[in-house]
Amino acid sequence: MIANAVIISTGAAVRLSSSGLGCPDWPRCTQSSVVAAQSVGQTTLNTWIEFGNRLLNFPLVAIAGLTFIACLRYSRARGLARRDLVWLSAILPLGVIAQAVVGGIVVLTRLNPALVAAHFLLSAGIILTAAVVLHARVVRMEKAEAQGKERADIGAANNPARADIRVLAGLLTAVTALMLAAGTVVTGTGPLAGTTIDPHGHRTTVPRFHFSLSAMTQLHADIGWFIGALTVALVIGLRFSGAQRRTVRLGWTVLCGLGLQGIIGYVQYFNHLPAGLVWVHVSTSVTVWILVLQLYLSTGDGTSRPSGTAALSPPETVTAP
């Protein structure tokens, strides 16, 4: 989960430093070199930023592959009782490989903004989400086993939140995903999409979305205010519905994270989008996405507690007459 978040942030650094074509070919860096090599119109720094981001895929694939092997071995040890962990963990290495291919297509299409957006959303929306869900299920399973339960697959938390709270948390997750997508459109419309220099020294901008930057920024901000209102309502609901302490803490953490994200967003806009601050904004959005997912998962999945729960509880001490 951490490794995926890191590589999303480094990918944003590639985009915002105009290093997307630091290695103008794929899978090679250039047509004549597999490793980082100087190319026309690109600085050495641009080349190494892009090539370094490519290199991070190798440890990420290794981590994802080891996670899959661990989940597969655990599932077999339990008689295939945890196939959900196997499927979730299988998404990770396959997703990283797919991500590398999409990244190559992005380079070969000279940074098409729609593909750049897909490149980001594939990581945040699929790979990172699978990692967070997998992490949550493993933690829940360990807690269940530590409490002496007969079944680790209990589906939901011991005290799932009310149905209306779960619906509100699900809506917050969906709108946050929409917010991430809108952010990619803003970046693809704005001045930080990157530039290229031809052999004659002429600088040209890479393809961009043909939208009004002010209109897209306003839409992005409107979604942000809606998310803020949803989070306030959710925090109030959690406070007075008897939800678990962890869920309440996550609600407050998400609210604080969104407030910080909003402040950064407005500061960067009124300071004409400095690349460094935009990178902080993107990296913080990844953290907020993880927290929102954890908040939703902590409310449970709506399933009732398994029948026979009382029988699974630790036996009480009985004193003989």
Residue 102 vs residues 50, 98, 99, 202, 222: alpha-carbon distances, Å? 15, 6, 5, 28, 30
Lowest mean pLDDT among 167-176, 281-290, 311-320: 311-320
Q: Specify the pTM.
A: 0.85
Give every CB contact of residue 268 below 8 A, 6+ residues apart in sequence.
274, 277, 278, 281
How sure is the predictor about 274, in pLDDT bands with cuts at 50, 70 and 90?
Answer: very high
Structure tokens at 191: 């001045």
CA angle 207, 116, 218 (to 5 degrees): 80
Assigned token pair, 292: 């929102």
Taking only the tens place, the pLDDT of each residue in 9-43 is 999 999 898 888 889 899 999 888 888 887 777 78
Q: What is the pLDDT of residues 210-228, one digit of tens each?
A: 899 999 999 999 999 999 9
Confidence class for position 197, pLDDT limits 50, 70, 90: low
Give the DSSP letter string of 75-128.
Answer: HHHTTSTTHHHHHHHHHHHHHHHHHHHHHHHHHHTT--HHHHHHHHHHIIIIIH
CB 12 within 8 A of CB 282: yes
pLDDT at 153: 46
DSSP 28-82: SSBTTBSS----TT--HHHHHHHHHHHHTHHHHHHHHHHHHHHHHHHHHHTTSTT
Greatest extent of the chain over all pairs of C-alpha atoms, in Å:
99
| Cα atoms found within 13 Å of the Cα of residue 105, Cβ hemisphere only | 13
